[in-house]
Structure 1
Amino acid sequence: MWLELATKVLRGEEINDQEAIRVLNCPEDELLDLLHSAYQVRKKYYGNKVKLNMIINTKSGFCPENCGYCAQSRDSSAPIQKYRMMDKETIVEGAEKAYRMGSGTYCIVASGRGPSNRELDIVTSAVREIKQDYDMRICACLGLLREEQAVQLKEAGVDRYNHNINTSLRHHDQITTSHTYHDRVGTVNNAKEAGLSPCSGVIVGMRETQQDVIQMARALKAMDADSIPVNFLHAIDGTALEGTDELSPSYCLKVLCLFRLINPTKEIRVSGGREVNLRSLQPLSLYPANSIFVGDYLTTDGQESTEDHQMIKDLGFEIDVVNEDKITM
């Protein structure tokens, strides 16, 4: 049955909701068959290549939004490091580190509802210098974005803009009320209109239903997001979702297979929470997914980049990056 689904997808057909539910409820003794099927789709479009991405958190905390998963939220009491916007030099230094780690994409992230003029000036100035010195893609993630701000980022050399939908339209108000689901979709559309590659993803494990998960994957297909980060909730003490622990490693793999089958041609990135939720099954995630973050996340630690490189090598996969000869481990 699982190979039939892959064949259907490769013919250009969409899986239906009943088939999607079957994927999320795949019996444990059929999980390897499901992964094999998702891999057939992944291999068609990405071969055995793995894209690497690295985040720099250029501004931490001080966020006026009330997102229940986030340690930087106005309602969070999590003991995180807080600091204002980094200077241009520090952001450029981070790009050099990303370059040496083999990252094809450098992700410049800042907390807050959206960027101020000063913050946007710092980012665009840093991007121009990075583009001059290093051969890598730049993704910005600065919150809600107006049309003219998207144009400024594009003109500076930003390639991609990330703004996650995070959850389904139905479940959105259970996660945050300080902005709407449509605010998020609007930002992605503003980025697309400016010529930026749209990046939008989800956080799974926030007390949503399986139907919500299916709707997230379908919403991202409708938005035509080029890159889809799939995060798995790493519940942080002091946040509204503190103590939430709904995920198993096998369910996370099923979610990744679903996202690959619904968005066959898109970059599917295993993102935040993969270490604590996938645990020893992390390597299997690269059969449906073709991209990972290396290094740390926003307020949580990732595993050592050398472990990620070794994992990719042990799988027989290859790092998909133009500056592969520059990687230092």
Structure 2
Amino acid sequence: MNQWNNLAENVLAGHELTNEEALSVLNSSDEELLQLLDGAYKIRRHFYGNKVKLNMIINTKSGLCPEDCGYCSQSVRSDAPIEKYRMMDKDQIVAGAERAHSLGAGTYCIVASGRGPSNKELETVAGAVEEIKEKYQMRVCACLGILKPEQAEKLKEAGVDRYNHNINTSKEHHADITTTHTYEDRTETVGRVKESGMSPCSGVIIGMGETKEDVVNMAKSLRVLDADSIPVNFLHAIPGTPLEHTEPLTPSYCLKVLALFRFINPSKEIRISGGREVNLRSLQPLGLYAANSIFLGNYLTTEGQEVTADHKMIEEMGFVVETAQEQEPVNA
């Protein structure tokens, strides 16, 4: 048995990776990549078998954001030529859920740009969620920015199962990416989500100039936060944003990152998210050996892989789409 299978066995027995072990994953040679993924798959298979969860995003409010996040085409610092519009109405959000349901997505993600939702925006989302739950019995995830405690309670009451608020990067690297909110603003929102009874979802963006130590800190911070779902994004450098000239990552490094997140957060949903097409490229299918979840279709302002190609990729790799009925009870 190689060292990565040994490490996987130790993780399944309750071992938490040391910083040295975590860095050894990211620094491993490409010759070891398949062995590393085999170790990650041992953990993934233990908790999730060969099932893949499908998620689909709707961008309900685009642009017009006062935050200065350097990666984002919707921020106040961005000159990216994106479509900008205010919050969709309830019927438009529900129609998006119908499409997501028809394409086999088990979780529908309602996303809006901005620092946080206004009361009117929150009412629109809450009304849409109530109708979506009644019609499609789908899991619903909301991502609306920084929440106040009473807003979190309102979303929970409406039927939102999960709330996403990414830490995006490490605490040490945060000020290099955005200055209009703090790292603590983000972690406090995750805490409010947990207090409300919604499932916390929080992830990262890899490839924004962080160090490997930062990547390890991100994975370990999410373990401490006890995020149930961890989206791992890889920077898609968008023209017109401060990070537009950032070079794509290598596919092998992206796979090592996914393996690291599986080793550090063994029982959690690890989702390959934005930027997988431009960073993992032809090695996208191998990511499923570490991750157990992907986004279908387009992201917020960038295009994703064709939905039919995603379904084909899953099938040809020997994985099976997890249906909404197979997932844990909604709004439990």
Q: Same fold (TM over 0.5)?
A: yes
Q: 1:192 aligns with which of 191, 194, 214?
A: 194
Match of 1:227 in 2: 229
Distance 1:323 1:258 in 2: 30
Match of 1:53 in 2: 55
What letter matches 1:303 in structure 2?
A: Q
Distance 1:45 1:135 in 2: 24
Do the aligned partners of 2:236 and 2:248 also contact (CA within 8 Å) in 1? no
Match of 2:279 in 1: 277
Match of 1:152 in 2: 154
Give the TM-score, by structure 2 length. 0.97
Distance 1:138 1:102 in 2: 14
What letter matches 1:52 in structure 2?
A: L
Match of 1:161 in 2: 163
Match of 2:7 in 1: 5
Deviations 1:232-260 (A, max 9, x none): 00001111111101510000000000000
Do the aligned partners of 1:8 and 1:15 also contact (CA within 8 Å) in 2? no
Q: Residues 1-329 of structure 1: matches in 2 within 5 Å?
A: 1-322=3-324
Do the aligned partners of 1:204 and 1:232 also contact (CA within 8 Å) in 2? yes
Question: For this pair of structures, how many residues does the alignment match?
Answer: 324
Q: Which runs of 5+ in 1 are unaligned?
A: 325-329
1:25, distance to aligned residue in structure 2 (A): 1.2
What letter matches 1:199 in structure 2?
A: C
What letter matches 2:277 in structure 1?
A: E
Do the aligned partners of 1:99 and 1:323 also contact (CA within 8 Å) in 2? no
Distance 2:130 2:175 in 1: 38
Deviations 1:265-298 (A, max 9, x none): 0000000000000000000000000000001000
Distance 1:245 1:149 in 2: 38
**Deviation >4 Å, runs of 4+:** none
Secondary structure of the residue aligned to 2:280 is helix
Distance 1:171 1:246 in 2: 19
Deviations 1:155-208 (A, max 9, x none): 000000000000000000000000000000011101110000000000000000
Distance 1:297 1:76 in 2: 17
What letter matches 1:281 in structure 2?
A: L
Distance 2:72 2:250 in 1: 21
Distance 2:318 2:212 in 1: 32
Match of 1:327 in 2: none
Secondary structure of the residue aligned to 1:54 is strand
Secondary structure of the residue aligned to 2:227 is coil
Give the TM-score, by structure 1 length. 0.98
Q: Tell me how large the CA RMSD over aligned residues is.
A: 0.8
What letter matches 1:41 in structure 2?
A: I
